[in-house]
Amino acid sequence: MEPISDFSLEPPPESQPDRIYSWLWMNGRRTSTRLKGLSLSHQFRLADGYLLISDFDCPFEEVTVFTLLDLRLRKLCSRSIGAWYCSFLLSGIEWRSPCHALLDFGGGDYWELNLRRFHLPLLRPRLRIRPCSDQTA
């Protein structure tokens, strides 16, 4: 799990009614991939791809989006955490192993992230995110 800074997002124009997806840029070049979110908060290189964490930069209704890409920048899986009138702005991430991380959303709100190498569509996704009771997950 290696933190990187190779990627950036190009948000859609303010005049666009549906401002959910942004273009992904890698090393100054626009790719053919679009991601949910307006800004990248974290990005990691994995052994077989990338994990990108984006958000919508909305102070009171923040949604955090986790996107898993392969080395050719194809989207493998995407999961988001958010709810109306709630803020899910990621304030910290602590890697416990190459496939397991503790997500800190502030105020004692912890979630665990698991990256799965093997998956079954709809039954066992590559990204599993679930709440946990404390920091010991």
pLDDT in tens, the chain (137 residues): 899 999 999 988 888 777 789 999 999 999 999 999 999 999 999 999 999 999 987 766 688 999 999 999 999 999 999 877 777 888 899 999 999 999 998 888 899 999 998 888 777 889 999 999 776 65
What residues have CB less than 8 Å from 36, skipping those under 6 apart? 20, 21, 22, 54, 65, 67, 78, 80
Q: How many other CB atoms are there within 10 angstroms of residue 37's CB atom? A: 26
Nearest Cα to Cα of residue 112 among 120, 99, 103 = 103
Q: What CA–CA distance (Å, rounded) separates 40 from 79?
A: 15
The CA–CA distances, whole Å, from 107 to 38, 91, 103, 125 equal 24, 10, 12, 28
- Looking at residue 134, its pLDDT comes to 72
Quickly list DSSP for 92-116: EEEEEETTEEEEE-STT-EEEEEE-
- Looking at residue 89, its pLDDT comes to 83
Q: How is residue 56 annotated by DSSP?
A: -
19 three-class SS: coil
- Looking at residue 136, its pLDDT comes to 66
- Looking at residue 61, its pLDDT comes to 67
Q: Locate 90 and state its tokens.
A: 């990621």
What are the structural domain ranges in the chain? 2-132
Residues 106 and 122: beta-carbon distance below 8 Å: no
- Looking at residue 1, its pLDDT comes to 84
